[in-house]
Amino acid sequence: MSPENIGKAFQRWLDGDVNFLEHMTDTAHVPDSQREELKAGRRQLQHEIRHRGSHRLLRAEEAGFRIVYNAVAVISCIVLIGVLLFIVSRLPRYGVENPRTLTVVERYVEKGLQETGAVNIVAGMILDYRAFDTLGESHVLFTALVCVTILLRRDRKNMDSTLEDYYTIRRDRYYDTSRDGLIRRIAVVLLPCILVYGIYILLNGQNSPGGGFSGGAVLGAGLILFVASFGFDAADRFFTQKVFSVISFVSLAFYSFAKGYVFFTGANGMENHIPKGTPGAILSGGLILPLDIAVGMVVACTMFGFYSLFKRGSIGKD
């Protein structure tokens, strides 16, 4: 390549016309009229790749890249698996062999009941000892719901009118489970049991395995079954967008401020006015029960919200 050509190519790159390193040789001296043709050819190729399946039209170098890519992917997976297995095989066994791991756990097990008022040590741990993490965790769920809402709630940007044609409506009706008598009758029997069980898990989190996350999941599943068997129209009568927003807002705001109060009093050495209650009773464990209810509400709403957004693109009537 002559210095003159390099100079020209550099000038073109400076003008934003070409890719300096890739096309220095081939398009630097292509006149403008031909460049349009080249572009059209490229578009045609892209179109064909998109519509005919990519394998056949890939050029040799791209196929080569694919082979290398797959090989690297497989090798890095194997290396990662090897490293992880190696670490796990060398980790000291938990507990007796490694006494330094016990300092934290011992206090949870021995003093958990006395300090948190919860028979269920796990509830005491996640909602009292390490409540800050759980505060974050409940907002993770809410964040996920906000993201799904952004993606799926119908608005003028993601609505496609061609989808709303006759066949879609017919197909939706065909697969609509709420028109099925069998499902409806079974749901009538099952639903009360599921909802009562969900409430039981929710309210008993401080005394037995369970709590907000699991109870809320059961309640959410109950709501989904209700909608699947009786249709969204039935749900819209009591569960609108507004009800949904209010429940999540109140639950999460209560959670933030209740825990904020505990953090604030704890760190500043002030007295915490929340009674611990009698261990084993429903009203025990201090804030654990109300927090469980708040988390349960958020989880149930979120699960139902996901289902509803995926199914029809909105949570409820506005």
Partner 1 sequence: MSFLCNVPLATIVLSLFSGVLCTVISGKAARRYTLVYECVLTGLLVALFVHVYRNGSFTYVMGEFPAPWGNEIRAGVLEAVVALTFMVIMGCSVAAGARFVSLDMDESKVNLYYALLNLMTAALMAIIWTNDVFTGYVFLEILTLTSCGVLIVREIGRTTLAAVRYMILNLLGSGLFLLGVVFLYDMTGHLLMVPMRETAAELAADPQGLTVLTLSVGILTIGLSIKSGLFPFHFWMPDTYGKATPTSASVLSSLVSKCYIFLLIKIYWRAIGVDVMMHMPVGNILFVLGMLGIVLGSVSAMRAEDINRMVAFSSAAQIGYIFLGIGIGGQEGYTAALFHILAHSVTKSMIFLTTPRLAEVSEGNVAFRYLQGSALRDRNAGVFFLVGALSMIGIPIFAGFASKLLFGLAALEHQSDAKLVLTMLALAASSMLNALYFIRTVIRIYTPNPAVRDYRRRHSAAYNIPMMVFTAANLFLGLFSWVAVRLIQLGLEQFV
- Minimum distance from CB of 304 to partner 1 (Å)? 16
SS3 state at 290: helix
If one asks whether residue 277 binds partner 1 (CB under 8 A), the answer comes out as no
Report how far residue 45's alpha carbon sits from residue 22's, in angstroms, rounded to the nearest whole number: 19
Q: For residues 84 and 283, which CB has a smaller minimum distance to partner 1 in the complex?
A: 84
If one asks whether residue 11 binds partner 1 (CB under 8 A), the answer comes out as no
SS3 state at 167: helix
Can you tell me which of 90, 173, 237, 273 binds partner 1, judged by CB under 8 A? 90
DSSP element (H, E) containing 242: helix 241-267
Q: Are residues 127 and 134 in contact, defined by beta-carbon separation less than 8 angstroms?
A: yes
Angle formed by the axes of helices 241-267 and 288-312, nearest 10°: 150
Letter string b/e over residues 237-249, b meaning 16 or more CB atoms within 10 A of that residue's CB: eebebeebeebbe
Q: 254: which strand partners?
A: none
Tell me the backbone φ, ψ of residue 33, rounded to 5 degrees: -65, -40
If one asks whether residue 51 binds partner 1 (CB under 8 A), the answer comes out as no
Per-position x/- string for 98-117, each x denoting binding to partner 1 as judged by CB under 8 A, each - no binding: x-xxxxxx-xx------x--
Q: Are residues 115 and 228 in contact, defined by beta-carbon separation less than 8 angstroms?
A: no
Can you tell me which of 87, 96, 163, 182 binds partner 1, judged by CB under 8 A? 87
- Minimum distance from CB of 186 to partner 1 (Å)? 36
If one asks whether residue 146 binds partner 1 (CB under 8 A), the answer comes out as yes
Which range, of 48-56, 152-160, 170-178, 226-234, touches partner 1 by CB under 8 A? 152-160
- Minimum distance from CB of 79 to partner 1 (Å)? 11
Write out the residues near partner 1 by the rule CB under 8 A: 13-17, 19-22, 83-84, 86-87, 90-92, 94, 98, 100-105, 107-108, 115, 128-133, 135-137, 139-140, 142-144, 146-147, 149-151, 153, 155-158, 245-246, 248-249, 252-253, 256-257, 259-260, 262-269, 272
